[in-house]
Amino acid sequence: MRLLWMQAGACGGDTLSLLCADNPTLEQLIEEGLELLWHPSLSVAPPRYLEWLIDAITTGRTPLDILCVEGSLIAGPRNTGLWDSLRDRGKKDAIAELAEAATYVLAVGTCAAYGGIHAAPPNPADCVGMQFDKASPGGLLPAAWRSRSGFPVINLAGCPTHPNTIARFLAFLLRGLPVTLDELQRPADFFSTTVHQGCSRNEYHEYDVEDTILGDRGCLFFNLGCQGPLTLATCNQELWNGRSSKTRVGVPCFGCTSPDFPRDTSLFLTEKIGHIPLRLPIGVQRANYMAYKDLAHEATPARLIRREMEP
C-alpha cells in the first residue's frame, strides 16, 4: 500500500514515535509492502518531488492508499493557512485535496485528530483537527466527510500516539483486518483500555492511598491530576519503548488521547468536589464511588499506607 505522510503544525513527535515502534517495526512494514511515497523525515527524493506527487495524486494519476497527517491544521491568519504554508498556499488546503484522493485518511496524534496542544487557549494559530475541533465534530473536513473507503478520518490519538498503535494500525490496513471506530473515530482495538488498566499503582488506587506530592509511590488520581481512569489508551497494557509508562515512574497521565488535551486547568492538580475528584473514572456514579472509597480506606493494609510496594 502506498502511504503519504504530511506534517502540518507539528513537533514531529508522532514520526519519532513511529520510529520507536517495535512490534511491528517500520522497517518490517516496509518489507511487507508498505511503500512510503513521501515522508518528510525519511524520503530521499528532493522536495520538488512532493510537489509533483501532490499533483499526481490529486489529479488521479497516482493512487494513494493511506494519507497520514501529523500536526494541527493551522488556519491562521484569517483562514488562509499561510502560517503553515506550502508553496505560497496554506498547507491545510493541500492536505484537504489529498484527503479526497486517499482510500484511508489517518490523523496521527491528537493535534491532527482534535487540534491538540496548539489549539489550547487562546488557540493563537487557529488550529483544528482533521475532522474535529476539540470534541466537536467537524474540523478541516466536515463531520459528514468520508474517504474513498467509506471511513471518516481515523484518529490515532495520543501526544504522541503510542508507537505500536501507529505501527499496528498500519499493519491492520496492510493485512486487511477489520476496523471499527469509537465515537471519537479512534480504532476500538487500541482505545478500549483505560490507562488505569495495568497501572502498577493500581493497588494504591484500590485502597485509596493517594499521593499529594510528586515523586512518591502512591496513586496520582485524587490530587496530582492523573487522568488514567478516564483516558482510553494502551499505555499500561503495552509498555512504552518496551519498558515502562508515565504512571509507572510517577508521572500523571495527562489524558493526551482525549479531544480536550491539554485541559484548561492546572495539569498537575485534580479538581475536586469535597475530597472526591470532579471527574470520576469512566461510567462511575459519584455516590457509589464515595461509598466504595470510604470502605476501601478502612481496609487499607499498612504496607500500602507505608508505601512499601514498588510501583
Partner 1 sequence: MTRRTLELELNRVEGDLTFQVELEDGRVADARCIGTTYRGFEQIMLGRTPMDALVITPRICGICSTAHLYAAVRALEDAWDIAPPANAVHIRNVSLMAEIIQSDLRQTFLFFTPDFCHARYAASPRFDAIGAAFTPFKGWMHLETLRYSRRVIEIVALFAGQWPHSSHMMPGGVTAPATARRIVDGQSLIAELTRWVERRILGGDLGAWLEIAHADEFDNWVLERPEAALTLLSQAARFAGLHTMGFGSPHLLSFGAFALPEPMVGRSHWLASGVRFGGDAPVVPLDPSAIGEQVRYSWFKPHPGGKHPFEGETVPDYQPASERYSWIKAPRYGGEVMQTGPLADLVVDGDPLVVDLYRREGGSAWLRQLARLRRMTQLLLFLRRTLDQLATRIGEPHRIPVPPDAKRDGQGAGMLTAARGALGHWIGIRDGVFDRYQVITPTAWNASPRDSDGIRGHWEESLIGVPVQDPEDPLEIGHVIRSHDPCLACAVHCLDSGRQIRFGV
Q: Which residues ranging from 124 to 143 are in contact with partner 1 (CB under 8 A)?
A: 124-126
Residue with Cβ nearer partner 1 (90 or 229): 90
Dist CA 112 CA 154 (whole Å) = 10
Strand order in the sheet with 35-38: 35-38, 2-7, 64-70, 102-108, 154-156
9 sits near partner 1 (criterion: CB under 8 A) = yes
| Nearest distance from C-beta of residue 125 to partner 1, angstroms | 4
Residue 192 has φ and ψ, to the nearest 5°, of -120, 20
**Which of the ranges 38-46, 130-138, 141-149, 165-173 carries the binding residues for partner 1, by CB under 8 A?**
38-46
Q: Is 285 in the site for partner 1 (CB under 8 A)?
A: no
Kind of pairing between the strands at 2-7 and 35-38: parallel
Dihedral sign of CA atoms 40, 44, 46, 50 in order: negative
Asked whether position 190 contacts partner 1 by CB under 8 A, the answer is no
DSSP for 17-54 reads: HHHH--SS-HHHHHHHT-EEEE-TTT--S-THHHHHHH
Does residue 212 belong to the site contacting partner 1 (CB under 8 A)?
Answer: no
Which residues contact residue 175 at a Cβ distance below 8 angstroms, ignoring those fewer than 6 apart? none
- Cell readout for 130 is 482533521
Q: Whose CA is closest to 66, among 159, 215, 167?
A: 167
The one among 59, 136, 241, 288 contacting partner 1 by CB under 8 A: 241
Q: How far is the CB of 163 from partner 1 (least distance, A)?
A: 9
* Residue 1 binding partner 1, by CB under 8 A: no
Q: How far is the CB of 268 from partner 1 (least distance, A)?
A: 5
Q: Which amino acid is at 37?
A: L
Pick the stretch among 19-27, 97-105, 149-157, 278-286 that binds partner 1 (CB under 8 A): 19-27
Is 309 near partner 1 (CB under 8 A)? no
Determine, following the binding rule CB under 8 A, whether residue 53 of this chain makes contact with partner 1. no
Sole binder of partner 1 in the list 179, 251, 280, 290 (CB under 8 A):
251
CB of 201 to partner 1, least distance (A): 11
User: Which residue, 87 or 275, is less far from partner 1 as judged by CB?
Assistant: 87
The phi and psi torsions of 45 (rounded to 5 degrees) equal -55, 145
Our finding on whether 197 is near partner 1 (CB under 8 A) is no
